[in-house]
């Protein structure tokens, strides 16, 4: 999915990056996100860090502000098609 970072440049996010962003913005804790995505917790944190770098945000507050601003500017687009489905897997 192609989005714009906080500087207005186009960036591309993978399916995992979109899923993690969606879960994070709903308030889900990182360990629950990792469980839902069938990933180790450290991998979920890495994906979040990668998304934040792509978007040009430095902390969770900037990440949330970017999301809210992006939602306002893309109201007419259908975001529901990006809602992730739960993966099945066992993490040890």
Domains of the chain, first to last? 2-82 (1.10.10.10)
- Contacts with 31 (C-beta within 8 Å, 6 or more apart), sequence order: 41, 44
Q: What is the pLDDT of residue 7?
A: 85
User: What span, in angstroms and rounded, lies between the C-alpha atoms of 43 and 52?
Assistant: 14
Given the structure tokens 């259908």, which residue do they identify?
Answer: 78
Distance linking the first and last C-alpha atoms of the chain: 31
Task: Note the pLDDT tens digit of each residue in 34-86.
Answer: 999 999 999 999 999 999 999 999 999 999 999 888 876 665 454 445 555 66
Q: Per DSSP, which regions of 7-83 are E strands?
A: 10-12
Task: Note the pLDDT tens digit of each residue in 1-42.
Answer: 678 888 889 999 999 999 999 999 999 999 999 999 999 999
């Amino acid at each position: 999915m192609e989005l714009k970072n906080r500087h207005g440049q186009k960036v591309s996010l993978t399916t995992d990056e979109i899923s993690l962003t969606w879960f994070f913005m709903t308030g889900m804790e990182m360990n629950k996100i990792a469980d839902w995505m069938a990933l180790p917790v450290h991998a979920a944190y890495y994906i979040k860090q990668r998304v934040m770098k792509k978007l040009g945000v430095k902390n969770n507050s900037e990440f949330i502000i970017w999301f809210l601003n992006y939602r306002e500017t893309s109201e007419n687009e259908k975001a529901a098609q990006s809602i992730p489905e739960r993966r099945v897997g066992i993490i040890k």
